[in-house]
Structure 1
Amino acid sequence: MTTFKDLGLSPSLLATLDKEGYHTPTPIQAQAIPSLLNGQDLLGIAQTGTGKTAAFALPILHHVLSNRIIAAPKTCRVLVLSPTRELATQIADSFKAYSRGFGLQIATIFGGVKYGPQYKALAQGLDILVATPGRLMDHLEQKTVDLRSVEFFVLDEADQMLDLGFVKPIRQVASRMPAKRQNLFFSATMPKEIGLLAGELLTNPKRVEITPEATTAERVEQSVIFVESLRKRALLSELYAEDKLSRTLVFTRTKRSADRVTAYLQAGGIEAAAIHGDKNQSQRERALQAFKAGKVRALVATDIAARGIDVDNVTHVINYELPFGPEAYVHRIGRTARAGREGFAITLVSDDERKLLKDIERITRQRIPSFDRRKDQALKLLDEAILASGQTEKPKTPDRIKEARHSDPDAERVHKRSRNRPGRNNADTPRDGTRGEFTPREDRGERPFGKKNAFGDRSARQDRNGGRGGRPERTERYDPMAAERAPTKAARDFPAADRAEKPRFDKPKGDRPFKKKDDVRSDSRFFEERPARPAGERPAGDRKFGDRKKFGGKKTNTKPRAHHSEPVGDRSEGAQFKRRSRNG
């Protein structure tokens, strides 16, 4: 059997491992540590709970302790990227535990906390820096960290980095580091995008694959319970009636659902706490510490904690809601059955989640045993009893809306009309910001029957609109200029035959002065008031037509055109056409 002494680690590290109680390496540690000690890049594929942290922490510490160098200010020798705050904290704790007594400078950088302590830690120089991509990019933009001295670059949970959209920041971070460094990639699954990223950043890596892609731990006993989505909370409370669920992780899909489940369990007398992205760092740490200490039986979390929680003796994992990705299911149930122990995974599945269950069974290549608890009256009674305690809100479900509608037909209508109605007197609203009381309909005075609003009688509207109330149809549209436009419109509507025979330019023109912008006579409204001028008094003469641009530009000739003395000559439509064709 392989031991840590056979892997070539330094005696000081071996003594620390003996104090911690570690004697036999896991399969990924036995395969990865010799390659890393030889300076090779590594691509490790193994699910959570297999000892990945020690697999890269021990050889890195061996190198750092063998080559003690004082790090320059704002620099670090080892950079470890983690997708979540909890996982970053646990990785840093592992480095501190394995190097206890050696005086290494180890720090963590993540969001949700103040920048001041992080500035101070970076300013003195670090041996090992564990960070999340977002906060690290902030420090790079502020120039409070320098990555040009990095010797080891570790990317943990690379597939979750991809899910969270951190691929671009990872590339930006890699561009700030020296080309000569040792790279370590660890991932539970190996999608195509991770393979492309590994090809960009790794050089002839040693591939270590412990388990096939997306397979669950063999020691986890899985089961599925089919239940209505409205009865999931009652079933969860029923499961906690057993003492076996002493330390259980409950996973939900959304942050709001996590808060609701936590409140429901607390209303049933079960110690529960929630952890998700909307919680600040102190709240998350308090909830995690209470769960580790055994003060909380149920830790309700979103997928942000699926890979960031490393708690010993987690007996059960309950999937209150199935994740959209099958890989997330593998990481969830990987929180139990760690370090060779047994564990249980219970999944509550509603009818709209059956497709997600099929995807999980297909990717894990196994059929999960199932039980049917649908239409269980015991769950309904339990749900009503917990809700009757008054410590949790009633869910706004279609069934409850239907029940309220049958019991009080006007309840839903009054609720919808209660906003901005005449019955709410804004002048009577208290000054303390509270909303005024709604005045019932019968207290607002009587109105004539059928008079809904300014459109007139209700019955008339219903007749015109097919039995439904609404705006009446307008028979006429008032147009103040219709009377003035009517003669002009009638004059244009002569027959087509008359239109063809009528000359185009036979309307007599009067003496029109030269238009000026500031002359009121230039307005078209004054044209008809000018005296008429006999046609034919202004001949065209031997005047040359001005050249024009190809698409209607201005005239290029400078010869002015007479306005009063020259006769117009033949201005018929045919003559106009001949002149245009002759001049091109």
Structure 2
Amino acid sequence: MTESFTQYNFQPFIQTALKKIDFKQPTPVQQRLIPLIIKGKNVVGQAETGSGKTHAFLLPIVNVLDSKLKAVQAVITTPSRELAYQIYEAARQLLELQPDLKVHNYVGGTDKQRQIEKLEHHQPQLVIGTPGRVHDLIKEHALDLHRVRHFVVDEADMTLDMGFLKDVDAIASAMPEELQLMVFSATIPAKLQPFLRKYLSSPEIVKISNGTVISPTIANWLVSTKGKSRNELIYKLLTIGEPYLALVFANTKARVDELTDFLRSQGLRVAKLHGDLTPRERKQTMRAIQNLDYQFVVATDLAARGIDIKGISLVINDEIPRELEFFIHRVGRTGRNGLSGTAITLYSPADDAQITELEKMGIAFQPKAFRDGELVDTYQRDRRVRRQKRRESLDPKLRGLVKKEQKKRKPGYRKKIQRAIVQEEQRKRKLDHKRHH
């Protein structure tokens, strides 16, 4: 039987809002999480990007907010301002028909004094924000959390990476002991475990996979940078076709700046996204990208995480991300909703180990090379590695002979060693044959 949102018996205003945003069937992550959250369970949810987890926690929380109680009843923290705005907008859509239920968004870079003054007059029922600003408002005795019943920590791994876990810890400790805690994360790093143990008693751990690691609609290519300028290579890749919208990922803010400057010097109209932009600049850039004023965007993982830019047809990895799980987030930006997309990763021989790890995670690459201004299929990246492994599989005696054979010797001596290798291999084959018959 096909699942639908009506089975959860949400209040009529939520059902109306869901129709308006054309939400008919819950996603797999929503089917797993909504019933648990409705029951009041503590939850640790691991879900891939684009899985619908935001509404998995928003719907059951909004459903139980009490409009008569003029106090904060639920708090949602997320490490990036963009993601906080996104969750805030989603909450506002759900609360459109409930003017008595207030939702406020508190993020860094906004007017804190004005927020404090407003909080003196009334407390919103739902708070969404970045950990630093929410913690600041608690320290100023402006935000009162003693009636909170639900606390969501979204993007917990990124919260940890950005150094916000102490703030989240302080926020949690300002809440009542009787608290439903929901933690969502793409990965669960070891450093997150002490926090989970401290606040979560017998949580429901839900791990949702979207089936295949990368959507089958994505062509996942690997291009060697050997002897080539990365900047030139990226410029060629961006201009070889006509991408609807191309997103280039770099590992550092400095590299985003460098690459953006180079591409702009080549005449491309490029937007950049990283943590050093002011909130106003970030907002303006995001609006311009949504309006398709830019065809090319260069970004860091943290700046792009949680931002849903529609219509990305090409993703380029300037480097493999330091956290390999981010690779899936990056590539998952394209090929959405059944549309085709292309992901291209630049690599050098030093990246072999990381690529092997990605392959172990179930990610398949198609090696490509530039020939006559076109990207064409090329041989497997690990051809050299396989040859090395074949040598390593030789027994010590044979390996010694091979090493001798590789050294510069007189021609007669080399032939002698080659004969010895052949004889040794024949002897081994005979022994193997006897052993198996």
Unaligned runs of 5+ in 2: 375-437
What residue in structure 2 maps to residue 250 of structure 1? 248
Q: 1:274 & 1:241 partners in 2: Cα distance? A: 18
Residue of structure 1 equivalent to 2:39: 38
Letter in 1 for 2:76: V
Aligned equivalent of 2:7: 6
Query: Normalized per residue, which structure has more helix?
Result: 2
Answer yes or no: is 1:69 the counterpart of 2:62. Answer: no
Report the counterpart of residue 367 of structure 2 in structure 1.
Answer: 370
Corresponding position of 1:174 = 172
Distance 1:11 1:243, change over 3 A: farther
Q: Distance in 2 between matches of 1:52 and 1:367?
A: 26
Distance in structure 2 (CA, Å) of the matches to 1:219 and 1:155: 32
What aligned pairs does 1:438-453 form with structure 2 within 5 A after superposition?
none
**Aligned-partner Cα distance in 1 for 2:366–2:239:** 22
Residues 57 and 95, structure 1, Cα contact 8 Å, conserved in 2: yes
Deviation at 1:216, TM superposition (A): 4.0
Are residues 155 and 213 of structure 1, via their aligned partners in 2, closer, same or farther at CA, if it must alter by over 3 Å? farther
CA distance in 1 between counterparts of 2:24 and 2:340 reads 21
CA shift in 2, pair 1:281/1:60, >3 Å: same
Local SS of the residue matching 2:16: helix
**Residue 86 in 1 paired to residue 86 in 2?**
no
Paired with 2:226 and 2:290, the residues of 1 have a C-alpha distance of: 32
Q: How does 1:540-579 map to 2 (within 5 A)?
A: none
Which amino acid is 1:79 matched to? V
- Which stretch shows the higher mean deviation, 351-360 or 181-190? 351-360
Residues 268-277 or 331-340, more deviating = 331-340
**Aligned pairs for 1:479-490 within 5 A:** none
Closer/same/farther in 2, CA of residues 36 and 219 from structure 1, 3 Å limit: farther
Are residue 241 (structure 1) and residue 239 (structure 2) matched? Answer: yes
Partner residue in 1 for 2:112? 115
Provide the residue aligned with 1:54 in structure 2: 55
Kindly tell me: are residues 118 and 89 of structure 1, through their superposed partners in 2, closer, same or farther at Cα, counting changes over 3 Å? same
Identify if the C-alpha distance between structure 1 residues 22 and 342 changes in structure 2 by more than 3 Å, giving closer, same or farther.
farther
Give CA-to-partner distance per residue, 1:217-241, whole Å, 9 cap, x none: 4543321111148522222222222
* Count of aligned positions: 371
Aligned position for 1:415 = none
| Deviation readout 1:494-523 (Å, 9 max, x if unpaired) | xxxxxxxxxxxxxxxxxxxxxxxxxxxxxx
**Residue 100, structure 1, aligned to residue 96, structure 2:** yes
Aligned CA distance change for structure 1 residues 278 and 15 (closer, same or farther; 3 Å): same
Give CA-to-partner distance per residue, 1:528-559, whole Å, 9 cap, x none. xxxxxxxxxxxxxxxxxxxxxxxxxxxxxxxx
Report what 1:192 is aligned to: 190
Cα contact 1:111–1:135 (8 A) shared by 2: yes
Q: Cα–Cα, structure 1 residues 71 and 230, in superposed 2: closer, same or farther, change >3 Å?
A: farther
* Partner-residue secondary structure (3-state), 1:22: coil
CA distance in 2 between counterparts of 1:217 and 1:166 reads: 32
**Distance in 1 separating the partners of 2:240 and 2:347:** 20
**Counterpart for residue 419 of structure 2:** none
| TM-score of the two chains, using structure 2 as the length reference | 0.79
Deviation string for 1:79-118 (max 9, x for gaps)? 1010111111111111111221211321222222332332
When the two chains are superposed, the root-mean-square deviation of aligned CA atoms in Å is: 2.4
Aligned residue for 2:429?
none
- TM-superposed CA distance for 1:10, in Å, is 2.0
- Give, in angstroms, the shift of residue 249 of structure 1: 1.5
Deviation of the 1:378 alpha carbon: 6.2
Provide the rounded CA distance (Å) in 1 between the counterparts of 2:63 and 2:179: 16
User: Is the CA contact 1:42–1:208 (under 8 Å) kept in the aligned structure 2?
Assistant: yes
Distance in 1 between residues matched to 2:48 and 2:68, nearest whole Å = 34
- RCO greater where, 1 or 2, for CA within 8 Å and sep 6 or more? 2
Match for 1:3: what amino acid? S
CA apart distance, 1:335: 2.4
Give the Cα separation in 2 of the matches to 1:101 and 1:48: 29
Matched position secondary structure for 2:73: strand
Task: Specify the SS of the correspondent of 1:154.
Answer: strand
Q: Secondary structure at the match of 1:370?
A: strand
What per-residue deviation string (whole Å, max 9, x for no partner) do you get for residues 227-276 of structure 1?
14852222222222255411122111111211121122222232211111
| Corresponding residue number in structure 2 for 1:432 | none
SS at 2:280 equivalent = helix
Matches within 5 A, 1:225-374: 225-228=223-226, 231-362=229-360, 364-373=361-370
Query: What aligned pairs does 1:497-516 form with structure 2 within 5 A after superposition?
Result: none
Question: Which one has the largest radius of gyration?
Answer: 1
Aligned residue for 1:435?
A: none
Taking the aligned partners of 1:34 and 1:153, their CA distance within structure 2 comes to 17
Aligned residue type for 2:67: R
Alignment-mate amino acid for residue 90 of structure 2: S
Instruction: Say which SS state the counterpart of residue 117 (structure 1) adopts.
Output: helix
User: Take 1:112 and 1:213, find their aligned partners in 2: how far apart are those partners?
Assistant: 39
- Please give the secondary structure, in 1, of the residue aligned with 2:281: helix
Partner SS state of residue 110, structure 2: coil
CA contact (8 A) 2:220 2:364 kept: no
State the match for 1:430 in structure 2. Answer: none
1:18 maps to which residue? Answer: 19
Q: Is the 8 A contact 1:188 1:214 kept in 2?
A: no
Distance 1:12 1:101, change over 3 A: closer
> Match of 2:158?
160
Q: Shift of residue 340 of structure 1?
A: 4.8
Segment of structure 1 superposing worse, 20-29 or 96-105? 96-105
Gaps of 5+ in 1: 380-584
**1: distance between equivalents of 2:33 and 2:227?**
45
CA–CA distance in structure 1, aligned partners of residues 339 and 43 of structure 2: 28
1:143: how far off? 2.2
